[in-house]
Structure 1
Protein backbone atom coordinates (compact mmCIF):
# COMPACT_ATOMS: atom_id res chain seq x y z
CA UNK A 1 0.00 0.00 0.00
CA UNK A 2 1.33 3.44 -0.97
CA UNK A 3 1.64 6.05 1.78
CA UNK A 4 0.07 9.12 0.15
CA UNK A 5 1.57 11.45 2.76
CA UNK A 6 5.10 10.21 2.01
CA UNK A 7 4.51 10.47 -1.76
CA UNK A 8 3.31 14.07 -1.37
CA UNK A 9 6.30 14.88 0.85
CA UNK A 10 8.66 13.42 -1.79
CA UNK A 11 7.03 15.51 -4.54
CA UNK A 12 7.23 18.60 -2.34
CA UNK A 13 10.95 17.99 -1.78
CA UNK A 14 11.47 17.49 -5.51
CA UNK A 15 9.65 20.76 -6.29
CA UNK A 16 11.63 22.68 -3.66
CA UNK A 17 14.88 21.22 -4.98
CA UNK A 18 13.98 22.37 -8.50
CA UNK A 19 13.24 25.88 -7.20
CA UNK A 20 16.58 25.95 -5.34
CA UNK A 21 18.35 24.96 -8.57
CA UNK A 22 16.64 27.82 -10.43
CA UNK A 23 17.54 30.31 -7.70
CA UNK A 24 21.14 29.09 -7.53
CA UNK A 25 21.56 29.29 -11.30
CA UNK A 26 20.21 32.84 -11.45
CA UNK A 27 22.36 33.84 -8.46
CA UNK A 28 25.53 32.50 -10.09
CA UNK A 29 24.58 34.17 -13.38
CA UNK A 30 24.07 37.50 -11.60
CA UNK A 31 27.45 37.27 -9.89
CA UNK A 32 29.24 36.40 -13.14
CA UNK A 33 27.52 39.24 -14.99
CA UNK A 34 28.38 41.70 -12.20
CA UNK A 35 32.04 40.60 -12.23
CA UNK A 36 32.38 40.87 -16.00
CA UNK A 37 30.35 44.02 -16.67
CA UNK A 38 29.39 45.66 -13.38
CA UNK A 39 25.71 45.24 -14.31
CA UNK A 40 22.78 43.36 -12.83
CA UNK A 41 20.66 41.18 -15.14
CA UNK A 42 17.88 43.81 -15.04
CA UNK A 43 20.30 46.54 -16.05
CA UNK A 44 21.64 44.38 -18.88
CA UNK A 45 18.16 43.59 -20.19
CA UNK A 46 17.20 47.28 -19.98
CA UNK A 47 20.27 48.13 -22.06
CA UNK A 48 19.61 45.32 -24.54
CA UNK A 49 16.13 46.70 -25.15
CA UNK A 50 17.59 50.10 -25.89
CA UNK A 51 20.12 48.48 -28.19
CA UNK A 52 17.44 46.45 -29.99
CA UNK A 53 15.05 49.35 -30.31
CA UNK A 54 17.55 52.19 -30.48
CA UNK A 55 16.17 55.34 -28.86
CA UNK A 56 13.12 54.67 -26.66
CA UNK A 57 11.16 56.19 -23.82
CA UNK A 58 11.49 54.78 -20.30
CA UNK A 59 7.79 53.88 -20.33
CA UNK A 60 8.19 51.79 -23.46
CA UNK A 61 11.11 49.83 -21.98
CA UNK A 62 9.27 49.42 -18.66
CA UNK A 63 6.25 48.02 -20.48
CA UNK A 64 8.33 45.53 -22.45
CA UNK A 65 10.16 44.41 -19.31
CA UNK A 66 6.98 44.24 -17.24
CA UNK A 67 8.38 46.48 -14.49
CA UNK A 68 6.98 49.41 -12.54
CA UNK A 69 7.85 53.04 -13.06
CA UNK A 70 9.71 53.04 -9.72
CA UNK A 71 11.91 50.14 -10.82
CA UNK A 72 12.46 51.81 -14.18
CA UNK A 73 13.53 55.04 -12.49
CA UNK A 74 16.00 53.16 -10.27
CA UNK A 75 17.47 51.31 -13.28
CA UNK A 76 17.66 54.49 -15.29
CA UNK A 77 19.44 56.45 -12.56
CA UNK A 78 22.03 53.72 -12.00
CA UNK A 79 22.73 53.22 -15.70
CA UNK A 80 23.01 56.96 -16.28
CA UNK A 81 25.37 57.31 -13.30
CA UNK A 82 27.52 54.53 -14.76
CA UNK A 83 27.62 56.32 -18.10
CA UNK A 84 25.80 53.51 -19.92
CA UNK A 85 22.77 55.46 -21.13
CA UNK A 86 21.90 59.04 -21.91
CA UNK A 87 18.67 61.02 -21.87
CA UNK A 88 17.49 63.47 -24.51
CA UNK A 89 14.46 65.76 -24.31
CA UNK A 90 11.92 65.37 -27.09
CA UNK A 91 12.14 67.97 -29.83
CA UNK A 92 8.39 68.39 -30.33
CA UNK A 93 7.32 67.58 -26.77
CA UNK A 94 9.91 68.72 -24.21
CA UNK A 95 8.21 66.61 -21.51
CA UNK A 96 9.11 63.45 -23.38
CA UNK A 97 12.52 61.94 -22.59
CA UNK A 98 14.30 59.64 -25.02
CA UNK A 99 16.87 57.11 -23.85
CA UNK A 100 19.77 55.68 -25.79
CA UNK A 101 22.98 53.82 -25.11
CA UNK A 102 26.27 55.65 -24.88
CA UNK A 103 29.43 54.34 -26.52
CA UNK A 104 30.36 52.83 -23.14
CA UNK A 105 26.97 51.12 -23.02
CA UNK A 106 27.46 49.62 -26.47
CA UNK A 107 30.92 48.35 -25.46
CA UNK A 108 29.58 46.69 -22.31
CA UNK A 109 26.88 44.94 -24.33
CA UNK A 110 29.52 43.55 -26.65
CA UNK A 111 31.41 41.92 -23.76
CA UNK A 112 28.38 40.85 -21.71
CA UNK A 113 28.11 37.06 -21.44
CA UNK A 114 24.98 35.28 -22.61
CA UNK A 115 23.29 34.57 -19.35
CA UNK A 116 20.43 32.66 -17.90
CA UNK A 117 17.84 34.94 -19.54
CA UNK A 118 19.23 34.31 -23.02
CA UNK A 119 19.43 30.55 -22.45
CA UNK A 120 15.91 30.48 -21.03
CA UNK A 121 14.57 32.52 -23.94
CA UNK A 122 16.16 30.18 -26.47
CA UNK A 123 14.90 27.02 -24.76
CA UNK A 124 11.45 28.48 -24.05
CA UNK A 125 11.01 29.63 -27.65
CA UNK A 126 11.73 26.07 -28.82
CA UNK A 127 8.79 24.69 -26.81
CA UNK A 128 5.38 24.09 -28.33
CA UNK A 129 2.81 26.80 -27.58
CA UNK A 130 0.87 24.52 -25.23
CA UNK A 131 4.09 23.75 -23.33
CA UNK A 132 4.85 27.46 -23.00
CA UNK A 133 1.33 28.15 -21.72
CA UNK A 134 1.53 25.25 -19.26
CA UNK A 135 4.92 26.37 -17.96
CA UNK A 136 3.76 29.97 -17.53
CA UNK A 137 0.65 28.83 -15.68
CA UNK A 138 2.73 26.58 -13.43
CA UNK A 139 5.26 29.30 -12.63
CA UNK A 140 2.52 31.84 -11.92
CA UNK A 141 0.85 29.29 -9.63
CA UNK A 142 4.13 28.70 -7.75
CA UNK A 143 4.59 32.46 -7.31
CA UNK A 144 1.04 32.70 -5.94
CA UNK A 145 1.62 29.73 -3.62
CA UNK A 146 4.64 31.53 -2.20
CA UNK A 147 2.50 34.55 -1.46
CA UNK A 148 3.90 36.80 -4.17
CA UNK A 149 0.89 38.83 -5.22
CA UNK A 150 2.88 42.00 -5.97
CA UNK A 151 2.14 42.98 -9.56
CA UNK A 152 5.06 45.40 -9.45
CA UNK A 153 7.65 42.65 -9.28
CA UNK A 154 9.62 42.58 -12.48
CA UNK A 155 9.48 39.85 -15.03
CA UNK A 156 13.23 39.96 -14.63
CA UNK A 157 14.70 37.70 -12.00
CA UNK A 158 16.52 40.28 -9.88
CA UNK A 159 14.15 43.25 -9.74
CA UNK A 160 14.35 43.65 -5.96
CA UNK A 161 18.13 43.80 -6.08
CA UNK A 162 17.85 46.87 -8.32
CA UNK A 163 15.76 48.69 -5.75
CA UNK A 164 17.71 47.64 -2.67
CA UNK A 165 21.30 47.84 -3.89
CA UNK A 166 23.28 51.03 -4.36
Structure 2
Protein backbone atom coordinates (compact mmCIF):
# COMPACT_ATOMS: atom_id res chain seq x y z
CA UNK A 1 0.00 0.00 0.00
CA UNK A 2 2.83 2.55 0.68
CA UNK A 3 3.74 2.52 -3.05
CA UNK A 4 0.18 3.43 -4.00
CA UNK A 5 -0.06 7.11 -5.09
CA UNK A 6 -3.51 7.44 -3.47
CA UNK A 7 -2.00 6.26 -0.17
CA UNK A 8 0.79 8.84 -0.49
CA UNK A 9 -1.74 11.62 -1.13
CA UNK A 10 -3.78 10.60 1.93
CA UNK A 11 -0.62 10.57 4.07
CA UNK A 12 0.31 14.04 2.79
CA UNK A 13 -3.21 15.33 3.51
CA UNK A 14 -3.07 13.87 7.02
CA UNK A 15 0.30 15.57 7.60
CA UNK A 16 -1.19 18.90 6.53
CA UNK A 17 -4.16 18.42 8.86
CA UNK A 18 -1.84 17.49 11.75
CA UNK A 19 0.42 20.50 11.13
CA UNK A 20 -2.61 22.79 11.23
CA UNK A 21 -3.92 21.10 14.38
CA UNK A 22 -0.54 21.38 16.11
CA UNK A 23 -0.30 25.07 15.18
CA UNK A 24 -3.84 25.70 16.47
CA UNK A 25 -3.04 24.03 19.80
CA UNK A 26 0.26 25.92 20.05
CA UNK A 27 -1.54 29.21 19.42
CA UNK A 28 -4.08 28.43 22.12
CA UNK A 29 -1.39 27.40 24.61
CA UNK A 30 0.83 30.44 24.03
CA UNK A 31 -1.72 33.24 23.89
CA UNK A 32 -5.08 31.64 24.73
CA UNK A 33 -6.60 32.50 21.35
CA UNK A 34 -7.72 30.67 18.25
CA UNK A 35 -6.19 31.39 14.86
CA UNK A 36 -9.26 33.31 13.62
CA UNK A 37 -9.18 35.43 16.78
CA UNK A 38 -5.52 36.30 16.15
CA UNK A 39 -6.28 37.08 12.50
CA UNK A 40 -9.01 39.52 13.60
CA UNK A 41 -6.73 41.17 16.17
CA UNK A 42 -4.01 41.53 13.53
CA UNK A 43 -6.49 43.10 11.14
CA UNK A 44 -7.55 45.64 13.76
CA UNK A 45 -3.91 46.38 14.54
CA UNK A 46 -3.05 46.80 10.84
CA UNK A 47 -6.14 48.79 9.85
CA UNK A 48 -6.52 50.95 12.95
CA UNK A 49 -9.93 51.87 14.30
CA UNK A 50 -12.27 50.07 11.91
CA UNK A 51 -15.79 48.82 11.34
CA UNK A 52 -16.84 45.18 11.31
CA UNK A 53 -17.35 45.39 7.54
CA UNK A 54 -13.79 46.62 7.00
CA UNK A 55 -12.44 43.79 9.15
CA UNK A 56 -14.66 41.27 7.36
CA UNK A 57 -13.43 42.41 3.96
CA UNK A 58 -9.79 42.38 5.10
CA UNK A 59 -9.84 38.84 6.54
CA UNK A 60 -12.40 37.38 4.09
CA UNK A 61 -14.73 36.13 6.80
CA UNK A 62 -18.43 36.93 6.95
CA UNK A 63 -19.56 39.90 9.03
CA UNK A 64 -21.55 37.51 11.23
CA UNK A 65 -18.43 35.43 11.92
CA UNK A 66 -16.35 38.53 12.63
CA UNK A 67 -19.04 39.86 15.00
CA UNK A 68 -19.16 36.55 16.90
CA UNK A 69 -15.38 36.49 17.25
CA UNK A 70 -15.27 40.15 18.29
CA UNK A 71 -17.94 39.53 20.95
CA UNK A 72 -15.59 37.00 22.54
CA UNK A 73 -12.56 39.29 22.15
CA UNK A 74 -14.51 42.13 23.77
CA UNK A 75 -15.55 39.89 26.69
CA UNK A 76 -11.84 39.30 27.34
CA UNK A 77 -11.04 43.04 27.08
CA UNK A 78 -8.87 42.54 23.99
CA UNK A 79 -10.89 44.96 21.85
CA UNK A 80 -13.34 47.73 22.51
CA UNK A 81 -16.19 48.88 20.32
CA UNK A 82 -17.61 52.37 20.31
CA UNK A 83 -20.03 54.45 18.27
CA UNK A 84 -18.74 57.01 15.80
CA UNK A 85 -19.09 60.62 16.88
CA UNK A 86 -19.97 61.61 13.30
CA UNK A 87 -22.55 58.89 12.71
CA UNK A 88 -24.00 57.07 15.73
CA UNK A 89 -25.07 54.15 13.51
CA UNK A 90 -21.43 53.29 12.81
CA UNK A 91 -19.55 51.16 15.34
CA UNK A 92 -15.74 51.18 15.36
CA UNK A 93 -13.39 48.68 16.96
CA UNK A 94 -9.91 49.21 18.35
CA UNK A 95 -7.38 47.12 20.26
CA UNK A 96 -7.05 47.58 23.98
CA UNK A 97 -3.70 47.59 25.74
CA UNK A 98 -4.33 43.99 26.76
CA UNK A 99 -5.18 43.11 23.14
CA UNK A 100 -1.88 44.58 21.92
CA UNK A 101 0.05 42.68 24.62
CA UNK A 102 -1.63 39.36 23.80
CA UNK A 103 -1.04 39.88 20.08
CA UNK A 104 2.69 40.40 20.70
CA UNK A 105 2.83 36.96 22.35
CA UNK A 106 1.09 35.19 19.47
CA UNK A 107 3.33 32.96 17.35
CA UNK A 108 3.49 33.50 13.58
CA UNK A 109 0.45 32.15 11.74
CA UNK A 110 0.92 28.99 9.71
CA UNK A 111 -0.53 30.51 6.55
CA UNK A 112 2.01 33.34 6.73
CA UNK A 113 4.98 30.95 6.59
CA UNK A 114 3.24 29.01 3.83
CA UNK A 115 2.79 32.20 1.77
CA UNK A 116 6.47 33.06 2.25
CA UNK A 117 7.58 29.63 1.01
CA UNK A 118 4.99 29.48 -1.77
CA UNK A 119 5.97 32.90 -3.12
CA UNK A 120 9.57 31.69 -3.55
CA UNK A 121 8.43 28.99 -5.97
CA UNK A 122 8.32 29.43 -9.72
CA UNK A 123 5.03 30.54 -11.26
CA UNK A 124 4.46 27.25 -13.10
CA UNK A 125 5.03 25.26 -9.90
CA UNK A 126 2.57 27.52 -8.08
CA UNK A 127 -0.05 26.99 -10.78
CA UNK A 128 0.42 23.19 -10.62
CA UNK A 129 -0.08 23.18 -6.86
CA UNK A 130 -3.16 25.41 -7.09
CA UNK A 131 -4.78 23.24 -9.75
CA UNK A 132 -3.92 19.98 -7.99
CA UNK A 133 -5.28 21.21 -4.65
CA UNK A 134 -8.47 22.40 -6.32
CA UNK A 135 -8.91 18.91 -7.76
CA UNK A 136 -8.24 17.31 -4.36
CA UNK A 137 -10.77 19.65 -2.72
CA UNK A 138 -13.30 18.67 -5.38
CA UNK A 139 -12.62 14.94 -4.84
CA UNK A 140 -13.21 15.40 -1.12
CA UNK A 141 -16.51 17.18 -1.70
CA UNK A 142 -15.21 20.61 -0.75
CA UNK A 143 -14.92 22.15 -4.18
CA UNK A 144 -17.80 24.57 -3.69
CA UNK A 145 -17.39 25.29 0.02
CA UNK A 146 -16.76 28.87 1.09
CA UNK A 147 -13.39 29.14 2.80
CA UNK A 148 -11.20 31.94 4.11
CA UNK A 149 -7.44 31.81 3.52
CA UNK A 150 -6.82 30.89 7.16
CA UNK A 151 -5.30 27.57 8.18
CA UNK A 152 -7.20 26.37 11.23
CA UNK A 153 -8.89 23.11 12.17
CA UNK A 154 -12.04 24.60 13.71
CA UNK A 155 -14.41 26.28 11.30
CA UNK A 156 -14.34 30.04 12.01
CA UNK A 157 -18.11 30.01 12.64
CA UNK A 158 -17.54 27.66 15.59
CA UNK A 159 -15.03 30.03 17.16
CA UNK A 160 -16.09 32.86 19.35
Q: TM-score range by the shorter chain?
A: 0.7 to 0.9
**Contact kept in structure 1, 2:78 and 2:97, CA below 8 Å:** yes
Q: Pick closer, same or farther for the CA change 1:13–1:37 going to 2, 3 Å.
A: same
How many residues of Structure 1 are paired with residues of Structure 2 in the alignment?
159
Q: Which residue pairs with 2:145 in the alignment? A: 150
Q: Provide TM-score, normalisation by structure 2.
A: 0.86
Q: How does 1:7-156 map to 2 (within 5 A)?
A: 10-148=4-142, 149-151=144-146, 153-156=147-150
Q: Pick closer, same or farther for the CA change 1:132–1:94 going to 2, 3 Å.
A: farther
Equivalent-residue separation in structure 2 for 1:34 and 1:118 (angstroms): 17
Computed over aligned residues only, the root mean square deviation of the Cα atoms, in angstroms, reads: 2.3
Q: Secondary structure at the match of 1:39?
A: coil
- Residues 21-43 of structure 1: per-residue CA shift (max 9 Å, x gap): 11101101111110111100111
Displacement after TM superposition at 1:44 (Å):
0.6
Mean Cα deviation higher: 120-129 or 54-63:
120-129
Structure 1 unaligned blocks of 5 or more: 1-5
Displacement after TM superposition at 1:161 (Å):
4.2
Structure 2 unaligned blocks of 5 or more: none
Q: Pick closer, same or farther for the CA change 1:82–1:132 going to 2, 3 Å.
A: farther
